Amino acid sequence: MAALIYAEIAASDSFRRIFLSKFFINLNKSLQIVAKDLFIAIIIVFLIINFIGQFLQVKGQSMEPTLREGNFILINKLYYRFNEPQVDDIISFSTQSMSGHIVKRIIAVEGDTIEYFSGTLYVNGLPINDPDIHFARKRGDIDYPFIVPEGYFFTLGDNLNNSIDSRYEQIGLVEKKQINGKIIMY
């Protein structure tokens, strides 16, 4: 009888060892699959954020009323690989003097002349703001008339009196290589 009980205990210990070893082998394989899938997902997200598009949340009031603080926007990072920036495009760009993404509207391209008279900004002689509605109190710290040099873009915030933009040396002109992408969803 004792031999029978011993044989049953030995068999159950052997069964437990086999079961546990198979369980841990399967668990290890499952964790490897999950880790591999997670790694692939992280690589895909990294590639999308750095090369295709990126969601951002608007901070500040410089682009009101078009973009309001707290709005989410999508930057198309591929757009300017195939197209040239145009007047009226809303872009995201980076500068050395400010951290993060800066969002502004292109109002002038190379060769355009910017002037400021009595609260109105002009591009090539045409007013860009109605002084009765959007009087531009701040002319910035550049000298007018200002001609946009080759390879550069002049940007403004839609909220002229609450925007640091190309009128100020802190931001200045934007080179194409500084542009992160075109804002396509707002």
Rounded Cα–Cα distance for residues 105 and 183 (Å): 10
Element (H, E) at 106: strand 102-109
**Would you mind telling me the total number of residues written for the chain in this entry?**
186
DSSP state of 85: -
Reading across the β-sheet that carries 174-175, which strands appear in turn?
53-57, 72-76, 179-185, 90-93, 102-109, 152-156, 174-175
Burial of 40 per CB tally in 10 Å (0-12, 13-18, 19+): exposed
Can you give the C-alpha Rg of the chain in angstroms? 30
Candidates 104, 163, 166, 182; catalytic one:
104
Candidates 62, 92, 163, 166; catalytic one:
62
Q: Count other C-beta atoms under 10 Å from residue 93's C-beta.
A: 22
Give yes or no: 104 in active site: yes
DSSP state of 177: G
Residues forming the active site: 62, 104
